Amino acid sequence: MPVKKYKDVVCRKWLPRGTKNLVEKDGRKFYFCSPACKEKFEKDSEKYTKLVG
């Protein structure tokens, strides 16, 4: 079974697993490598959700 990876939509790093730095928006979960990336997303989520397919 393949390992699911998560991509931080702010800094674009691949994360090997979900983290506690998580935001749920519009029924989707977004994971972040650090609290700083999470904070950037929360300040301007529209900018980053447009980057996600």
Residue 39 has pLDDT above 70, yes or no: yes
Q: What is the mean pLDDT of residues 26-53?
A: 90
Angle at the Cα of 11 from the Cα atoms of 19 and 48, rounded to 5 degrees? 90
| Strands 22-25 and 14-15, bridge-based pairing | unpaired
Which residues sit opposite 24 in a β-bridge? 29
Whether 8 has a pLDDT exceeding 80, the answer reads yes
Q: How many CB atoms lie within 10 A of CB 8?
A: 20
Mean pLDDT, residues 5-34: 91
Pick the more confident residue, 3 or 29.
29
For the CA atoms of 23, 12, 36, 15, the dihedral, rounded to the nearest 10 degrees, stands at 70
